[in-house]
Amino acid sequence: MLHSRKLLYIDEIARCGSIRKAADRLNVASSAINRQILALEEELGAQIFERLPRGLRLTAAGELCIEHIRDVLKNYEKLEGRIRGLKMPQAGKVSIVTTVGLAAGPLPELMARFITEHPRVRVSLRNDGGSTTINPVIAGEVDLGLGFNIPATPGIRTLANFDIPIGVVLPPGHRLAENERVSLIDVVQERLVLALPGTSLRDMINLILAPLPLPIEPALETNSSEMLKEIVRHGKALTLLNPLDVLAECRRGELIYRPLADPYVRHQPMKLFARARASLDAAASLFVEFLLGELVEMVREVQGRPSQTENAQG
């Protein structure tokens, strides 16, 4: 190993907030980890962790250290992958963080196809709430992030932007399904079930509903897209979602998606992004190329027209 085990110890403590928990995960004595930390703090002339009654917390110096440490560990992992690649061509690993909705919606099919087509590439996918999707990328914990309403943020670079339209989801046979596009006025006259306030989807829906003269009171609000789809499937209400949320159900003929006809309706921006200062290795680049192509086709399929997307910017 080209780096000290101290780096692994500090990284694990930062994640756990406790020497004991870190020691258990690393199968190392707590006293050994503590000695290493104390030695490093003496070497740096600064305290890395603040000792609290219920654990440890990074100091300002510790935040700087952990950023450097994760860079070193990530680069070492890439080095290992490249060395393995000399013996096993096309081997590699890629990691991505995304939203709960995308992880439960269109991505399982894509992941299954990718690992079938590229069996020597390992994929790690985790889902987080929308507000934390950026953080694992900036911290160097994952290679890529995919999420909605991602603001321009120092420390990340955009690989691609998609404009995903919010539309109405209907059960088969509903009278509004006869139209290629549906007026929002017609939609709000039906019983509605909507995403929970505070979610990125509901924030976008609220902007769409804002020009209407009267407030909308949905019959049910939830952060479960599966529940929303199930209620619509049983013909009890309509909902507003993006086409990626309902792709599988539309393919099976269980639900129908229609774009909204109103000219002022905004789209929900979806962004694929990476850490600004980190280059993508061969496996991650291969995955990005595959993912972009598949997402474009998925959006086009549900919309029934050419999708709107921008090419990679970096």
Same fold, 90-163+268-303 and 167-265: yes
Helix (H) or strand (E) holding 145, with range, is: strand 144-148
> Half-sphere exposure of 131 toward its Cβ, with a 13 Å CA cutoff?
3
240 or 282, which is more confident: 240
Q: What is the pLDDT of residue 230?
A: 95
Q: What is the mean pLDDT of residues 8-14?
A: 87
Q: Is the pLDDT of residue 15 over 70?
A: yes
94 or 306, which is more confident: 94
Query: What does pTM read for this prediction?
Result: 0.64
Per-residue pLDDT of 100-123, as tens digits, reads 778 877 888 899 999 998 888 889
Kindly provide the b/e burial profile for residues 95-129, where b requires at least 16 CB atoms within 10 angstroms of the residue's own CB: bbbbbebbbebbbeebbeebeeebeebebebebbe
Q: What is the pLDDT of residue 312?
A: 38
Classify 90-163+268-303 by CATH class.
Answer: alpha beta
Q: What is the mean pLDDT of residues 293-302?
A: 78
Q: What is the pLDDT of residue 131?
A: 52
- The band of 304, judged by pLDDT with boundaries at 50, 70 and 90, is low
Helix (H) or strand (E) holding 26, with range, is: helix 19-26
- Assign 137 to helix, strand or coil: helix
Q: What is the pLDDT of residue 174?
A: 95
Could you tell me the sign of the dihedral formed by the alpha carbons of 129, 200, 270, 137, in that order?
negative
Could you tell me the sign of the dihedral formed by the alpha carbons of 168, 171, 172, 174, in that order?
negative
Out of 3.40.50.720, 3.40.50.300, 3.40.640.10, 3.40.190.10, which CATH number does the structure's domain 167-265 have?
3.40.190.10
Task: Give every CB contact of residue 253 below 8 A, 6+ residues apart in sequence.
Answer: 172
Out of 1.10.3470.10, 1.10.10.10, 3.40.50.720, 3.10.420.10, which CATH number does the structure's domain 5-71 have?
1.10.10.10
Q: Which of 55-59, 68-72, 181-185, 303-307 has the lowest mean pLDDT?
A: 303-307
Per-residue pLDDT of 221-273, as tens digits, reads 998 888 999 999 999 999 999 888 888 888 889 999 998 988 777 788 889 99
Q: Which of 3-17, 217-231, 243-257, 298-312 has the lowest mean pLDDT?
A: 298-312
Q: Where are the domains of the chain?
A: 5-71, 90-163+268-303, 167-265
C-beta separation of 95 from 111 below 8 A: no
Q: Is the pLDDT of residue 126 over 70?
A: yes
Q: What is the pLDDT of residue 306?
A: 39
Q: Which of 36-40, 173-177, 190-194, 269-273 has the lowest mean pLDDT?
A: 36-40
Q: What's the mean per-residue pLDDT of the chain?
A: 84
Q: What is the pLDDT of residue 7?
A: 84
Q: Which of 84-93, 147-156, 207-216, 292-301 has the lowest mean pLDDT?
A: 84-93
DSSP sequence for 242-286? -GGGGHHHHHTTS-EEEEB--TTPPEEEEEEEEETT----HHHHH
4 or 262, which is more confident: 262
Q: What's the CA angle centered on 270, arms 267 and 271, to 5 degrees? A: 145
Q: Is the pLDDT of residue 310 over 80?
A: no
Q: What is the mean pLDDT of residues 9-35?
A: 87
